[in-house]
Amino acid sequence: MELLIISKYGRYIRLPAHVFPTLDRNARGVSMIRLPADDEVLAIIPVAENEGGFLTILTKKGKGKKVDLMEFKTLNPDDNTDKIIEEGDEIATVSYF
Cα separation, 70 vs 87, whole angstroms: 23
* Mean pLDDT of all residues in 46-55: 86
**Spatial separation of the C-alpha atoms in residues 84 and 86, rounded to whole Å:** 7
- Rounded Cα distance between 14 and 51, Å, is 13
Please give the model's pTM, rounded to 2 decimal places: 0.83
pLDDT at position 77 over 60: no
Mean pLDDT of 33-41: 90
Q: By CB neighbour count within 10 A (0-12 exposed, 13-18 middle, 19+ buried), where does 78 fall?
A: exposed
Would you place residue 64 in the very low, low, confident or very high pLDDT band (cuts 50, 70, 90)? very high
Across the range 10-39, mean pLDDT stands at 85
Average pLDDT along the chain: 86
Q: Is the pLDDT of residue 84 over 90?
A: no
Spell out where 1-97 has E strands.
2-7, 11-16, 41-47, 54-59, 64-68, 82-83, 91-96
CB 56 within 8 A of CB 64: yes
For the chain, which residues make up each domain, given as ranges?
A: 2-96
Q: Is the pLDDT of residue 36 over 70?
A: yes
Confidence bin at 19 (pLDDT 50/70/90): confident
* DSSP code per residue over 54-73: EEEEEETTS-EEEEEGGGS-
